[in-house]
Amino acid sequence: MKLNSLLVLMALSLLTLAVSGCRSAGKPGSASFASVVIADKSDAEIRHATTAVFVEAGYLGFTGADGELVFEKEGTRKNQIAHGGWIATEHGNETWVRVRARIVDVGGGAHRLQCQAFMVPHHGDSFFEEEKRLANFRGGPYQELMDQVAARLK
C-alpha cells in the first residue's frame, strides 16, 4: 500500500513539473517568465500601456537607468512573512514586489514585452535590501498583466 501511494505521488510530481515547464518552452530564456509579442505599436505606445496596466494593478512605476520599466508595490502579509520573516515584518522592514519589464525589438515591426518579478525584503534599506527572483512557474499573475497590455494595444 505504501509503495502504491509513493508511486502515485511521484507520478503527480512529474506531471506537475512537465505541465509547468511546457508553458515557456517556446520562448527565449529571457522571456520565459512572462511575455507577449506586440505588433505594429511603437515603443512609446507599449510603455504607456504597460505603465497604465501596472498602475491600475496597484504598482508604483518608474524608469530605470537603462530605460527598463520598473514597477513596485508592497507585498502581501504572506510575502512579508515568507521573505522578510516575523521579526522584520514587526519592525517595519517590509517586503515589496518588484517587476522589471523590457521591450525588445524582434523585427518585422513587432516587439516583445517581457518581465521578471522579484521579492524585495528590506525594501528601501540601502544595506539589507536584495532582490529574490521568482521562479518561472510563479509567472502566472504577471503573464496576466502582460496579456492585459497586449489586449489594450489591439
CATH number belonging to domain 27-152: 3.30.310.80
Domain ranges of the chain: 27-152
Give the integer Cα–Cα distance in Å for 87 and 120: 16
- Given a contact cutoff of 8 angstroms between Cβ atoms, the answer to whether 109 and 39 are in contact is yes
Give the integer Cα–Cα distance in Å for 116 and 24: 13
The candidate with the shortest Cα–Cα distance to 112, out of 53, 38, 51, is 38
Cell representation of residue 80: 512579508
Q: Which tens digits make up the pLDDT trace of 16-68?
A: 544 444 444 555 665 689 999 999 999 999 999 999 999 999 999 999 888 89
- What is the C-alpha end-to-end distance of the chain, expressed in Å? 55
| Region 78-100 average pLDDT | 69
Cell representation of residue 56: 491600475
Q: What is the pLDDT of residue 64?
A: 86
Given the C-alpha cell 489594450, which residue does it identify? 152
Could you give the C-alpha distances from 25 to 13, 102, 140, 153, in angstroms and in order? 19, 20, 15, 25
**Residues 6 or more apart in contact with residue 70 via CB below 8 angstroms:** 61, 62, 63, 64, 98, 99, 100, 101
Q: Compute the mean pLDDT over every residue in the chain, rounded to the nearest whole number.
A: 82
Query: With 60 as the cut, is the pLDDT of residue 1 above it?
Result: no
